[in-house]
Amino acid sequence: MTEADLLSKMDGCVVVLGTGGTIAGRASRPDDLSGYVAGQVAVADLVRDIPALASGLFEVEQVAQVDSKDMDLVVWQALVARVAHHLARPEVVGVVVTHGTDTLEETAYLLQSVLKPRKPVVLTCAMRPATALVPDGPQNLSDAVLLARRAGAKGVVAVCAAKVHSAFDVVKAHTYQVDAFDSGDAGPIGVVEHGQVRLFRAWPAFADTADRETGVFDASSVKRFLKATRLPRVEIVLSHAAADGLMVRCLLDHGLNQSPAPLQGIVVAGTGNGTIHRSLLSALEDAMAAGVRVVRSTRCARGWVSTDPTGIPDSDGLPPLKARLALMLNLLPG
């Protein structure tokens, strides 16, 4: 049985939301894999040009058309609003989001944290533009739709190069390879093989307690995010050999009273298991004394930070980028 046959046998609507990215990129030549412009091809055209998606019930909507390196609050809010809207529709079985690779891991984590959906929300992408001689976007998008229709699928995941990653774990690990994403020690949730999803572990957490009417865990968290006029200012600093506290002290000198976005948090990417150079630690202690929230993560690609005597809370396993987002969401006004 082909993938198209499998799709046509499944009831319910999949909504495909486009935000731009390389998957919608266009170059002047098919052999140009780096000089393209992201976010040029409409998501409706991406779906239309994939034979495996010719059957089945779909809706397509263009939420944004951006290079994901330029992702911002306005686009995030538009995306959260549209995903929440479609999740609440009983006839919608899942939502697919086409996205650029550069900030996909951040958007995935944000959607999971804000929406906590019981239906699947599948982010997908491409490392080659739509105009490439052999683009990877069509297969990734086809896999994403297949995943969105899978019975039992839930939560926010990403699918790229046939691997299914949890929003909590996914990171971009390579600058140009087609298989650019990794899930660290946890590994992928599963893979898409021959039109079938083979699971290795459970879907993302929190989904089982989602409201069965709205399709989200807590509608109040969505409202809280959507009414934000700005994201709390949280900066990332790096601990390294010969580090000092200058960057932190500059942030304190110029950021504490900066209106309308004063410094509210710092995530430190520590060495090893979250250790921090003593000079940098002294500055971070001053920041905490001034009321700035500080969270300790690690610059290492794998492994969690462990408890240490610094008194700085750890990131609960999150890498620096996601730890920053978690702290920003925590600092949003009620």
Q: Enumerate domains of the chain plus CATH numbers.
A: 3-225 (3.40.50.1170), 233-331 (3.40.50.40)
181 contacts: CB under 8 Å, gap ≥ 6: 101, 104, 105, 158, 160, 161, 163, 165, 170, 171, 172, 173
Task: Quote the pLDDT of residue 2.
Answer: 44
Q: Is the pLDDT of residue 125 over 70?
A: yes
Banded pLDDT at 179 (limits 50, 70, 90): very high
CA distance linking residue 289 with residue 298, whole number of Å? 22
Distances (CA, A) of 58 to 49, 95, 187, 278: 14, 10, 31, 56
Mean pLDDT value across residues 115-139: 96
Pair type for strands 13-20 and 57-66: parallel
Token readout for 255 is: 């950021």
Token readout for 108 is: 């995935």
Task: Quote the pLDDT of residue 156.
Answer: 97
194-230: pLDDT as tens digits = 999 999 998 876 544 444 445 555 688 999 999 999 9
Banded pLDDT at 280 (limits 50, 70, 90): very high
Q: Yes or no: say if 141 and 50 are a contact pair by the CB < 8 Å rule.
A: yes
Banded pLDDT at 319 (limits 50, 70, 90): very high
Distances (CA, A) of 246 to 2, 242, 252: 60, 12, 10
Ranges of beta strands (E only) in 233-319 are 233-238, 263-270, 293-298
Task: Quote the pLDDT of residue 256.
Answer: 86
- 124 in active site: no
Token readout for 154 is: 């839930």
DSSP sequence for 99-130: --STTHHHHHHHHHHHH--SSEEEEE--SS-T
CA distance linking residue 99 with residue 44, whole number of Å? 14
Banded pLDDT at 239 (limits 50, 70, 90): very high
Mean pLDDT value across residues 46-65: 88
Q: Which amino acid is at 215?
A: G
Looking at per-residue pLDDT, the higher value among 190 and 220 belongs to 190
Banded pLDDT at 6 (limits 50, 70, 90): very low
Ranges of beta strands (E only) in the chain are 13-20, 57-66, 92-98, 120-124, 155-160, 163-166, 171-172, 181-182, 190-193, 196-199, 233-238, 263-270, 293-298
CA distance linking residue 313 with residue 294, whole number of Å? 7
Task: Quote the pLDDT of residue 18.
Answer: 98
Q: For the chain, what is the radius of gyration of the CA atoms?
A: 21
Compute φ and ψ for 221, nearest 5 degrees.
Answer: -70, -35
Q: Which of 141-145, 211-215, 252-256 has the lowest mean pLDDT?
A: 211-215
Task: Quote the pLDDT of residue 106.
Answer: 98
Query: Angle at the Cα of 193 (from 322 to 144), degrees rounded to 5?
Result: 45
Token readout for 334 is: 């009620």
Task: Quote the pLDDT of residue 81.
Answer: 97
Banded pLDDT at 145 (limits 50, 70, 90): very high
Q: Is the pLDDT of residue 7 over 70?
A: no
Q: Is the pLDDT of residue 39 over 50?
A: yes
Token readout for 88 is: 């609440």
Mean pLDDT value across residues 88-113: 97
Which position among 22, 103, 107, 124 bears the catalytic label?
22
Enter the pTM of the model. Answer: 0.92
Q: Which residues of 32-64 are buried (b: 16+ CB within 10 A; e: fewer)?
A: bbeebebbbbebeebbeeeebbeebbbebeebb
Task: Quote the pLDDT of residue 307.
Answer: 74
Token readout for 69 is: 């390196």
Banded pLDDT at 261 (limits 50, 70, 90): confident
